[in-house]
Amino acid sequence: MIRGTKSLLVSALVIGVASPAMASDIVWARDGDIDSLDPHRATSTLSRQVWYQIYDSLLEFDDSGTPVPNLAESWTVSEDGTEVVFTLNEGITCHDGSAFNADDVLWTANRALFGDNPSLTKASWGDVTSVDKIDDLTVSFKLAQPFGAFVPFMADQFTAMLCDSNAEAADFGTESAIGTGPWKLASWTKGSEIILEKNPDYVNY
């Protein structure tokens, strides 16, 4: 799947049936359009393949399937298994130039778990009772009971972290999709093409 350092050698990723691309573009032809760039609302493979380029999760899986640091540089689990604390990497930048920090994690988690229209995969987070900001780079998730799948799920695409500046966009998931990933949304012409541009500030942890 397109990501990583080799992908960053090109200036744009054009997904769909597109006009002729420049030599520095990648054109990825697929058999259908996405339904949304909102990880909380769309579950199709076609959608996931695209938002995986735009957003990052707190953790990621290594080649053996073990969760390893990503946006979060480390995490701890309490002895009773009911609290997980993530420490974020410093210096991560959202696509709009704002700093990625604990506020973005809170906004994402609260939207996914406690919003009026929660994530379609809410149950996979476990019984999270609260999400709290300890400081700008530290976030605590508290659970009603231990849930062994919680930490691995933080490496899943469905727990992609969204920058809280998306809250100001009435068209989030279509016209707006602000993340921290190696590619950022340039445009989406429904039924035709999606154009992603290289994120020059991307750091592959």
DSSP letter assigned to residue 98? P
For residue 54, the SS3 value is helix
131 or 200, greater pLDDT: 131
Domain-embedded: residue 205: no
**In the block, residue with structure tokens 């750091």:** 203
Report d(CA 40, CA 29) in Å as an integer: 25
- Encode 1-46 in three state secondary structure: CCCHHHHCCCCEEEEECCCCCCCCEEEECCCCCCCCCCCCCCCCHH
Report d(CA 35, CA 144) in Å as an integer: 33
- The dihedral sign for the CA sequence 49, 53, 56, 59: positive
Q: What is the mean pLDDT of residues 178-194?
A: 90
The answer to whether 185 and 198 have CB atoms below 8 angstroms apart is: no
CB atoms within 10 A of CB 77: 15
- What is the secondary structure of 122-158 as a DSSP string? GGGG-SEEEEEEEETTEEEEEESS--TTHHHHTTSGG
Q: Dihedral (C-alpha) 43, 199, 137, 102: value to the nearest 10 degrees?
A: -40
Domain-embedded: residue 157: yes
Domain-embedded: residue 13: yes
Domain-embedded: residue 136: yes
For residue 77, the SS3 value is strand
Domain-embedded: residue 203: no
The CATH number of the domain holding residue 161 is 3.90.76.10
| Structure confidence at residue 189 as a pLDDT band (50, 70, 90) | confident
pLDDT of residue 2: 57
Q: What is the CA radius of gyration of the chain?
A: 17
Among 44-53, 146-155, 183-192, top mean pLDDT goes to: 146-155
Domain-embedded: residue 204: no
Residue 20 has pLDDT above 70, yes or no: no
Residue 8 has pLDDT above 50, yes or no: no
The number of distinct structural domains making up the chain is 1
| Structure confidence at residue 17 as a pLDDT band (50, 70, 90) | very low
For 29-47, the pLDDT digits (tens) are 667 788 889 999 987 888 8
What is the domain range of residue 14? 4-198
205 or 33, greater pLDDT: 33
Q: What is the mean pLDDT of residues 182-189?
A: 90
Residue 104 has pLDDT above 80, yes or no: yes
